[in-house]
Amino acid sequence: MGVDVLAISTDSRFSHKIWQKEELSKMVPNGAPYPLLSDAGGKIGKVYGVYENDAGVDIRGRFIVDPDGVIQGMEILTPSVGRNVSELIRQVQAFQHVRKTGEVTPSGWQPGKPTLKPSPELVGTVWKVWKPDMAF
């Protein structure tokens, strides 16, 4: 997809190594196919607003950052709720499509599905070209 994926946590690089060996490698051959980076002290988490000072940890979050370094999407979840990789992939595809074409991707958009072309004529007429059931 032409994206860089990084996993960052306040865990040490040694914890990441054990996590890769003892857990991830048993779920995915050879473990996670992207770097696991240590954010000791939460410097990166503080920049992204996910560092919890009292606990000394980064809260789970994911960020889609465009090639210009601008955050285009983010999601913050508690550890008890798992993330949805399919939704992340869909969102990356949507952001890439928007960047390439200037079109708008409505809720639940999938590649190949209708998009919206922003224009003054679209105002008040979105309902003619997009229906809520298209989001599912």
Q: Write out pLDDT tens, residues 88-132.
A: 999 999 999 999 999 999 999 999 999 999 999 999 999 998 999
Extract the tokens encoding 77. 């979840």
Pair 39, 61: CB distance under 8 Å: no
Average pLDDT estimate for 67-77? 94
Q: What is the pLDDT of residue 88?
A: 94
Cβ atoms < 10 Å from Cβ of 16: 20
Q: Report the pLDDT value the prediction gives residue 12, as an integer from 0 to 100.
A: 94
* Token pair listed for 33: 């196919």
Per residue in 7-48, pLDDT (tens digit) is: 999 999 999 999 999 999 999 998 999 999 999 999 999 999
Specify the pTM: 0.85
Domains along the sequence of the chain with CATH: 1-80 (3.40.30.10), 84-136 (no CATH)
CA triple 100-106-110, angle to 5 deg:
70
| pLDDT at residue 78 in the model | 87
Question: What token pair was written down for 101?
Answer: 């074409």
Q: Which helix (H) or strand (E) holds 97?
A: helix 85-101
DSSP-derived letter for residue 83 is: -
Q: What is the mean pLDDT of residues 42-56?
A: 94
